[in-house]
Amino acid sequence: MQGIADYEFVHLLGEGGHGSFWLARCPARLSLGLDYVAVKTLAHHGSDADFERLSMELQHYSSVTSPRLVQLYEVGLQGDILYYAAEYFPDGSLTQPARPFNRASVLAAVADAALGAHALHEAGISHRAIKPSNVLIDGPMAKLGDLSLAQVLSPGQTLTGLENLGSIEFLAPELIQGESGSRATDIWALGATMHRVLTGRPIYPSVPDDSPLEALRFLLSQPPTLNDSLRPDEHQVVAAALATNPLDRPPTALDFAKMVSDLAHYYAQAEPL
């Protein structure tokens, strides 16, 4: 694609099961005074009714004021392509930060994402797509971006397809089984994110990829395997968030954020930059 609406695309930032992210020049029409924005184009073929629903959902998201949530600028529909424009983060995400990150800053970023999630929960929204690539680096802080819109466009859908098997570890087992998003499912995703960024490994070491059904059956029959490279106090926090029973996880994302930021502070003192 070369652009959408009056956004001119510079290059592709990434692709996911639901759509593509582009670096785009910010149209003067918006009077934002920004050079660049990130534009997401959704793979779902959109109608006017989809646009209305998406707008309502994103307006509600935008009404949540938290410094730990990515700012959205606009939602639109051109032809049958739905898109939205959001803040662009040149420093990248926790998947591929553009500058080196020590353990304390990684943990601080996970804690920031948890605070963003908590703000959403308090406003009645479950994020449903927390993973390292959605934790965006903004100077000394991190922000949570790109909430899942699958429920808005395709109600009841828990997995969009095989492409998602790579990020299936971030889906709580009860979410895979068809339950709805909750505080507890986002807390699972935060735990899996923390595990992934600290160890570089997935929590399910070998998911069969021959058929989606086999993969799902495998996941639902296996508890996650935590990597040995986690330090004992990190292991404890991750294991709590990844408890199979949602009731055994920290009750709120704020509780989880406190546990993680305690670790981050501890490391920051122990290992100064």
Partner 1 sequence: MTDYDLTPGTIHRGLGFIARWPGIVLVIPSDPVHDRAAEELLAALGPEPAPTEVAQVVHEALHNGQLRTAGYLAMAAGGPLAMVSGAIEILSDGVQQFSGTAGLVKQQVNATDRLTMRATNLTKATEPVPPYDLRRGIAPGAGITLGSLQTRRDRPVTPPRPDQVRNEPSVREPQPAPDPVAVPFRSLTLFDQTGPVTHRPALPVARPALAADDVPNRSGARDLAPAEAPGSGNQVAMVHGILCSRAHFNNPGAQFCIACGIAMVHVTHNLVPGPRPTLGMIVFDDGSTFGLDRSYLIGREPHTAPNADPAPLTIQDNETLSRRHAEIRLVDWSVHLIDLESTNGSFIWDPDSERWNQLPPHQPVVLDPGATVALGRRTFVFESVTQQ
Report 246-265 residues binding partner 1 (CB under 8 A). Answer: 246-247, 249, 251-252
Whichever of 171 and 263 has its CB closer to partner 1, that residue is: 171
Whichever of 104 and 171 has its CB closer to partner 1, that residue is: 171
Stretch that binds partner 1, among 74-82, 101-109, 139-147, 192-200 (CB under 8 A): 74-82
Does 80 bind partner 1 (CB under 8 A)? Our answer is no
**Cα–Cα distance measured from residue 160 to residue 231, given in angstroms and rounded to the nearest whole number:** 34
Among 28, 33, 35, 79, interactor with partner 1 by CB under 8 A: 79
Does 53 bind partner 1 (CB under 8 A)? Our answer is yes
Whichever of 170 and 267 has its CB closer to partner 1, that residue is: 170
Whichever of 184 and 238 has its CB closer to partner 1, that residue is: 184
Does 84 bind partner 1 (CB under 8 A)? Our answer is yes
**Cα–Cα distance measured from residue 146 to residue 72, given in angstroms and rounded to the nearest whole number:** 9
Residue for token pair 């790109």: 146
82 forms bridges with which residues in the sheet? 77
- The footprint of partner 1 on residues 112-131 (CB under 8 A) is 121-126
Residue for token pair 């909750």: 182
Among 109, 142, 159, 203, interactor with partner 1 by CB under 8 A: 159
Whichever of 75 and 203 has its CB closer to partner 1, that residue is: 75
Among 102, 178, 223, 229, interactor with partner 1 by CB under 8 A: 178
Stretch that binds partner 1, among 138-146, 154-162, 225-233, 258-266 (CB under 8 A): 154-162
Among 35, 200, 210, 273, interactor with partner 1 by CB under 8 A: 210
* Segment 257-262 long-range contacts (CB within 8 Å, at least 24 positions apart): 257/111, 257/112, 257/114, 257/115, 257/118, 258/111, 260/107, 260/110, 260/111, 260/114, 260/194, 261/107, 261/108, 261/111
Name the residue among 92, 144, 95 with its Cα closest to residue 256.
144
Name the residue among 166, 155, 144, 154 with its Cα closest to residue 219.
166
In this structure, what token pair is assigned to residue 65? Answer: 């004021």
Whichever of 139 and 232 has its CB closer to partner 1, that residue is: 139
Whichever of 102 and 177 has its CB closer to partner 1, that residue is: 177
Does 166 bind partner 1 (CB under 8 A)? Our answer is yes
Minimum Å distance from CB 108 to partner 1? 20
Does 231 bind partner 1 (CB under 8 A)? Our answer is no
Q: Write b or e for each residue in 202-219: b if 16 or more Cβ atoms lie within 10 A of its Cβ, otherwise e.
A: bbbeebeeeeeeebbeeb
Do residues 113 and 65 touch, judged by C-beta distance below 8 A? no
In this structure, what token pair is assigned to residue 150? Answer: 């699958």
Q: What is the DSSP letter of 161?
A: -
Minimum Å distance from CB 84 to partner 1? 8
Does 35 bind partner 1 (CB under 8 A)? Our answer is no
Collapsed DSSP state (helix, strand, coil) of residue 269: helix
- The footprint of partner 1 on residues 190-209 (CB under 8 A) is 206-209
